[in-house]
Amino acid sequence: MISKSSAPGKVILFGEHAVVYGEPALAMAVDKRCGCEISVSSSRTTVNGHPIREEYHSYILQCLNILEVDNKLKISTESDIPSGAGMGSSAAVSVATIGALRKFLEKGSTEEMIAKDAFNVEFEVQGNASPIDTSTSTHGNAIMVSEKKEKDFLWEIKKDEKSWNIHHRDIPDMDFVIGDTGVHSSTGPLVEKVKKFYRKSNFAREIIQEIGEIVRDGCVLLEEEDLEGVGRLMNKNHRLLSILGVSHPSLEKLIKGARRHSYGAKLTGAGGGGSMIALTDEPNKVAEVIEKKGGTPYVLKSTKKGLTSTNTEEKE
């Protein structure tokens, strides 16, 4: 038996940082994907021909641990999702591996099971995690995460005292360009920076609430396929994130350049460097501008296609 699976990457469209304070956030699946193939091994468990080792295969090893796998397996992965560019590469690896393992072991493979397993993998490896990336990679389309159950509810994920409600949201076909600044940023200090501002300032709290409103307005505009409106909200969301202090000169340079050929552009993820995203009908022009300004561009499309998994019989 050979089990194969494929899971998409993701981008966060609206709601970074505000989601920490109970506001909703919106992420969508993109057409770059990670694949995983699993079959029986005659000797030991390997990943891409190498013995599985925690320092190189921590996410895959945790997938095996969570599903209590003691079989010797041959695991192969391939991915066109760049690491560290805000596209959820580790989430896609976790989702694809869990999807293939559950199919291989015939343990049941509903979207909810896979999303919860993959979230737990990320949580264990990283020490902390949000289910946004793994739920988006599992479900495809777009997902909105919020504190309460709302329309098109999919599932709830709980960890310790926290809980997240995951909802389906419709998206049209859209073209995006991610611009990776190449500036590495750690999420923790940026979250802490916003927390200090939030605790001492009513203004900061109002900004967080306004970002939450942008998420909800964005969901409506996406459903209506109003790309101009979505772009305006992206610009507004970025301005608010800049006021919170999580932008960076390298991001501003790419965003300013991208906006000349876009409906809108903003940072995506924690900020402080990292990546920006532009919604555009001219992706090649945007990519060219990003490259000229020192960033690495990735042209993407939104996708409705989430995790796919199949079993096939091994040939004798």
DSSP symbols for 36-89? EEEEE-SSS-EETTEE--HHHHHHHHHHHHHTT--S-EEEEEEE-SPTTSSS-H
| Residue 133 bears catalytic tag | yes
On whether the CB atoms of residues 177 and 298 are closer than 8 A, the answer is yes
- Helix, coil or strand: residue 207: helix
Contacts with 46 (C-beta within 8 Å, 6 or more apart), sequence order: 52, 73, 74, 75
**Catalytic-labelled residue, pool 133, 160, 173, 217:** 133
DSSP letter string over 111-178? HHHHHHHHHHHHHHHHSS--SHHHHHHHH-SEEEEESS--TTEEEEEEETTEEEEEEEE-----EEEE
Each residue of 121-163: pLDDT tens digit?
Answer: 999 998 878 899 999 999 999 999 999 999 999 999 998 888 9
Question: Which strands make up the sheet holding 275-279, listed edge to edge?
Answer: 264-268, 275-279, 175-180, 296-301
User: What is the pLDDT, as a whole number, of residue 214?
Assistant: 97
Each residue of 59-104: pLDDT tens digit?
Answer: 999 999 999 998 899 999 999 998 878 899 999 999 999 999 999 9
Instruction: Please report the domains of the chain, with CATH numbers, ordered by start residue.
Output: 2-172 (3.30.230.10), 175-301 (3.30.70.890)
b/e 226-246 (16+ beta carbons within 10 angstroms → b): bbebbbbbbebbbebbbebbb
**Is the pTM of the predicted complex or chain greater than 0.75?**
yes
Say whether pLDDT at 316 is over 60.
no
Q: What single letter denotes the amino acid at residue 23? A: E
Q: Return the structure tokens found at 118.
A: 């993959």
Say whether pLDDT at 315 is over 80.
no
Each residue of 173-192: pLDDT tens digit?
Answer: 999 999 999 998 788 888 88
DSSP one-letter code for 224: T
Do strands 50-51 and 73-79 pair parallel, antiparallel, or not at all (unpaired)?
Answer: unpaired
When comparing pLDDT for 127 and 279, which is higher? Answer: 279
Mean predicted confidence (pLDDT) in 254-259 = 97
User: What is the pLDDT, as a whole number, of residue 11?
Assistant: 95
